[in-house]
Amino acid sequence: MAVIDELKDLISKKLSVDLSQVTENAKFTDDLGADSLDLVELVMELEEHFEIEISDEDSQNFLTVKDVADYIKKKKS
Active site residues: 35
- In whole angstroms, what is the distance from residue 4 CA to residue 54 CA? 17
Residue 14: left (phi > 0), alpha (psi -120 to 50), or beta? alpha
- For residue 61, give the DSSP letter: T
